[in-house]
C-alpha cells in the first residue's frame, strides 16, 4: 500500500510540475538553512574524546593577586592556566595514573639542506603521558617514555605532514632532526591526528590544528624555552633580572602551563582534590595563594563550556535555522491545501468507490512526505555547498578546511527535519481533503 501511495504521489507531482517545484524548493531552502546551522553548532560542541570524559581532568589554581580577583567579571574567576612552579609541584603526586603539563613554543626546524630551507614550527612541550591521555594515533613508532622525561632525552615526535616534508613520508623513527641548535632523535610519527577540538589546549584557538612537533616538557629549562601561547600573571615574572632562567621559573607567578591529569575513579578524583587543597594550604603558609581557596578540576565537557569553545552565536543561528524551516513548512499549508482541494472531484469518486477517509488521508500525507524528502535531499546538497564555503573561510583562521561537515548525525537530523516539515505542512491539508463529503463532488 505504501508503494502504491508513493507511486500516486509521484504522478501527482508530475501533473503540476511548477507548483510541485515551488513546494519542494521551499522545503529545500528550509532544510539547507537548518542543516547548515546545525552542522556549525555540531562542529563546535562535538566531544573530541567521549571515552575520556569521566577520567581526564584539567587543573586550574587561583594564585592571583590577593588584592583583586582575576579579571573576568565573576567573583570566583581564576586563571585558565597554572604557573610552572605549581605544575612541577603537582607532578610529584602519585594519585593520577597519568599526568602531563604542556605549552606551545615556536622553534626553528632544520631539515637536510637538500630537502628544504629551515622553517619556524609550532612545538608542543609535554610529558610522556600526553599521547596516551589524548588517544594520539601513530603512523610509525610511539611517544617517548617516562624515563626519557627523567633523563631529558633529546627525542621528538613529528606530524605526518612534517614527516612527509622532511623525510619523504618514509618511516623516520631513529632519524635525526635538528631543532634550533640541538639534534633530536625521532621516536614517533603521528597518523593524521586532527581532533575536532584541540582539547589539550583550549586557552587559544581551540579549533586550530595540532602542532607538528612534540618535545619532552623537561627541556624547557635547558633550552630556555618560552611560551608563544596565552599567558598572564601578576607581580612580575619572578626573581631578579640577574637570576637564572630556572630560578625565575621557580619563583614567578606567571601562568602559562596547561595541566591535565587522568583519574580513573571518583575516589581518585576526591583524593586529588584533597591533595590540591593541602598544597594550597602549604603554599599559603609560604606567602602565596592569598585569596580564598579557589581551584577547579574540570572535565573536558565542563572546560569546553567554561572556555566557550562553542560561541553563543552558534546556538542562536541554530534556532534561526529551525524557525526558518518551521515558517516555510507553515506557509506551505496553504499551497498544499489548494493543490489537494483542486482535485476534490477525483477524491469524491474514490470515496464513492469505497476508499475510506483513512486511505485518502494516508495517500495525501504520503505525498507530503515525498515532497519533503525530495526537498530534504536538495537541501542537503545546498547545505554541503554552504559548509564548503564556510570551511574555505575558516581555513584562513584555523588552518583546517574540514571543520564543518555532514556526518551521519547531521544526515539523520536532515532526514528527521524533512519528515517533520512534511508533517507540519501536510497534516491539515490531508485532513481537510479526507473530510470532504463525496456526494457534494459527484455530478450526474
d(Cα 423, Cα 325) in Å, to the nearest integer?
12
User: 437 is in which domain, residue-wise?
Assistant: 2-48+311-441
In terms of domains, do 132 and 16 share one?
A: no
In terms of domains, do 15 and 95 share one?
A: no
Residue 402 lies in a domain: yes
Q: Identify the band that residue 2 occupies on the pLDDT scale cut at 50, 70 and 90.
A: low
Assess whether pLDDT exceeds 60 at residue 31. yes
In terms of domains, do 102 and 179 share one?
A: yes
Which residue shows C-alpha cell 580577583?
Answer: 69
Assess whether pLDDT exceeds 50 at residue 444. no
Residue range 367-397, pLDDT digits in tens = 788 888 888 899 999 999 988 888 887 777 6
d(Cα 144, Cα 142) in Å, to the nearest integer?
7
Q: Identify the band that residue 141 occupies on the pLDDT scale cut at 50, 70 and 90.
A: very high
In terms of domains, do 150 and 201 share one?
A: yes
Residues across the chain: 444
pLDDT at 248: 84
d(Cα 391, Cα 403) in Å, to the nearest integer?
6
pLDDT at 317: 84
In terms of domains, do 145 and 229 share one?
A: yes
Residue after which a domain boundary falls, among 256, 272, 298: 298
- For the chain, what is the total number of helices (H) and then of strands (E)? 13, 11
Assess whether pLDDT exceeds 80 at residue 441. no
Residue 363 lies in a domain: yes
pLDDT at 312: 79
Residue 182 lies in a domain: yes
Which residue shows C-alpha cell 584555523?
Answer: 398
Where is average pLDDT lowest: 38-42, 303-307, 335-339? 335-339
Task: Find which of 11-25, 89-103, 223-237, 389-403 is predicted with most confidence, using mean pLDDT.
Answer: 89-103
In terms of domains, do 192 and 127 share one?
A: yes
In terms of domains, do 93 and 217 share one?
A: yes
Residue 303 lies in a domain: no
Distant-in-sequence, close-in-space partners of 74: CB < 8 Å, separation ≥ 6: none
In terms of domains, do 272 and 151 share one?
A: yes
How far CA 263 is from CA of 133, 144, 257, 273, 321, in Å, comes to: 11, 21, 19, 11, 40
In terms of domains, do 168 and 293 share one?
A: yes
Residue 304 lies in a domain: no
Residue 184 lies in a domain: yes
Residue after which a domain boundary falls, among 251, 274, 298: 298
In terms of domains, do 129 and 39 share one?
A: no
Assess whether pLDDT exceeds 70 at residue 8. no
Which H/E stretch holds residue 185? strand 182-190
Eight-class DSSP state of 356? -
In terms of domains, do 115 and 92 share one?
A: yes
Residue range 61-100, pLDDT digits in tens = 999 988 888 987 677 889 999 999 999 999 999 999 999 9
d(Cα 318, Cα 314) in Å, to the nearest integer?
6
**What total number of domains does the chain contain?**
2
Per-residue pLDDT, averaged over 353-372, amounts to 76
Residue 214 lies in a domain: yes
What is the distance between the terminal CA atoms of the chain, rounded to a whole angstrom? 31
Residue 306 lies in a domain: no
In terms of domains, do 230 and 263 share one?
A: yes
Amino acid at each position: 500500500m505504501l508503494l502504491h501511495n508513493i507511486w500516486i504521489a509521484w504522478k501527482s507531482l508530475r501533473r503540476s510540475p511548477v507548483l510541485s517545484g515551488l513546494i519542494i524548493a521551499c522545503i529545500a531552502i528550509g532544510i539547507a538553512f537548518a542543516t547548515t546551522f546545525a552542522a556549525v553548532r555540531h562542529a563546535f560542541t562535538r566531544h573530541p574524546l567521549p571515552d575520556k570524559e569521566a577520567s581526564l581532568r584539567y587543573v586550574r589554581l587561583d594564585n592571583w593577586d590577593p588584592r583583586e580577583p582575576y579579571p573576568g567579571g565573576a567573583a570566583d574567576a581564576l586563571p585558565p592556566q597554572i604557573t610552572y612552579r605549581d605544575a612541577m609541584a603537582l607532578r610529584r603526586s602519585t594519585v593520577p595514573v597519568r599526568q602531563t603539563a604542556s605549552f606551545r613554543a615556536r622553534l626553528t626546524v632544520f631539515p637536510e639542506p637538500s630537502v628544504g630551507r629551515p622553517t619556524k614550527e609550532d612545538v608542543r612541550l609535554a610529558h610522556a603521558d600526553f599521547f596516551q591521555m589524548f588517544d594520539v594515533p601513530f603512523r610509525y613508532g610511539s611517544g617517548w617514555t617516562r624515563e626519557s622525561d627523567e633523563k631529558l632525552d633529546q627525542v621528538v615526535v613529528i606530524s605526518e605532514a612534517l614527516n612527509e616534508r622532511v623525510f619523504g613520508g618514509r618511516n623516520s623513527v631513529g632519524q635525526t632532526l635538528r631543532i634550533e641548535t640541538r639534534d633530536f632523535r625521532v621516536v614517533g610519527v603521528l597518523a593524521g591526528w586532527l581532533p575536532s577540538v584541540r582539547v589539550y589546549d583550549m586557552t587559544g584557538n581551540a579549533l586550530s590544528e595540532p602542532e607538528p612537533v612534540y618535545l619532552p616538557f623537561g627541556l624547557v629549562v635547558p633550552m630556555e624555552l618560552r611560551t608563544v601561547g596565552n599567558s598572564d600573571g601578576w607581580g612580575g615574572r619572578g626573581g631578579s633580572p640577574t637570576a637564572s632562567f630556572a630560578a625565575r621559573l621557580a619563583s614567578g607567578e606567571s601562568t602559562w602551563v596547561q595541566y591535565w591529569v587522568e583519574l580513573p575513579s571518583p575516589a581518585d578524583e576526591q583524593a586529588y582534590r584533597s591533595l590540591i587543597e593541602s598544597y594550597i594550604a602549604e603554599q599559603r603558609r609560604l606567602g602565596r595563594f592569598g585569596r580564598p581557596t579557589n581551584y577547579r578540576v574540570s572535565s573536558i565537557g565542563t572546560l569546553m563550556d567554561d572556555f566557550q569553545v562553542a560561541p553563543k552565536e552558534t546556538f542562536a543561528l541554530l534556532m534561526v535555522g529551525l524557525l526558518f524551516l518551521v515558517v516555510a513548512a507553515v506557509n506551505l499549508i496553504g499551497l498544499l491545501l489548494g493543490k489537494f482541494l483542486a482535485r476534490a472531484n477525483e477524491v469524491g469518486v474514490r470515496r464513492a468507490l469505497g476508499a475510506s477517509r483513512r486511505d485518502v488521508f494516508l495517500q495525501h500525507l504520503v505525498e507530503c512526505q515525498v515532497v519533503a524528502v525530495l526537498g530534504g535531499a536538495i537541501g542537503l546538497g545546498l547545505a554541503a555547498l554552504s559548509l564548503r564555503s564556510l570551511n574555505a573561510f575558516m581555513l584562513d583562521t584555523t588552518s583546517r578546511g574540514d571543520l564543518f561537515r555532514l556526518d551521519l548525525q547531521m544526515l539523520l537530523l536532515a532526514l528527521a527535519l524533512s519528515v517533520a516539515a512534511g508533517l507540519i505542512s501536510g497534516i491539515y491539508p490531508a485532513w481537510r481533503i479526507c473530510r470532504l463529503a463525496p456526494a457534494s463532488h459527484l455530478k450526474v
